[in-house]
Amino acid sequence: MPDEDQLFLQPADAPPPVERRPNDSSHEFLMGQIARLPTRRELAWLALVILFVGAVIGIVGIEAFWRYVPSCILNPANPLP
């Protein structure tokens, strides 16, 4: 068993040599993809538009429900006014 403990006490292998950084031209694809990402302003504008549209749809849905559903319940012979 003491031999197994010796494995933890041995020094680690030397790290591989650091290679030269690639040129910027090799990152053109990544830079192009990053440039296509939306900015914070675009994301904030999109969030506000989604919020506004959701509110409008919600209000229209509630108004339609309360205008037409009670009249259908009170007068089953004439379902829609």
Token duo for residue 18 = 């650091």
pLDDT string in tens for the chain (81-residue length): 555 556 666 667 776 676 766 666 768 888 888 899 999 999 999 999 999 999 999 999 999 888 777 666 666 666 555
pTM given for the model: 0.50
Contact 24, 32 (CB under 8 A): no
- Answer yes or no: is 20 within a domain: no
Q: Total structural domains in the chain?
A: 1
- Identify the pLDDT of residue 31: 85
Question: By residue range, what is the domain housing residue 45?
Answer: 39-81
> What counts of helices (H) and strands (E) characterise the chain?
3, 0
Look-up: residue for tokens 């509630």? Answer: 62
| Whole-number Å distance between alpha carbons of 32 and 42 | 18
- Answer yes or no: is 43 within a domain: yes
- Answer yes or no: is 9 within a domain: no
- Identify the pLDDT of residue 5: 58
| Whole-number Å distance between alpha carbons of 76 and 69 | 11
- Answer yes or no: is 61 within a domain: yes
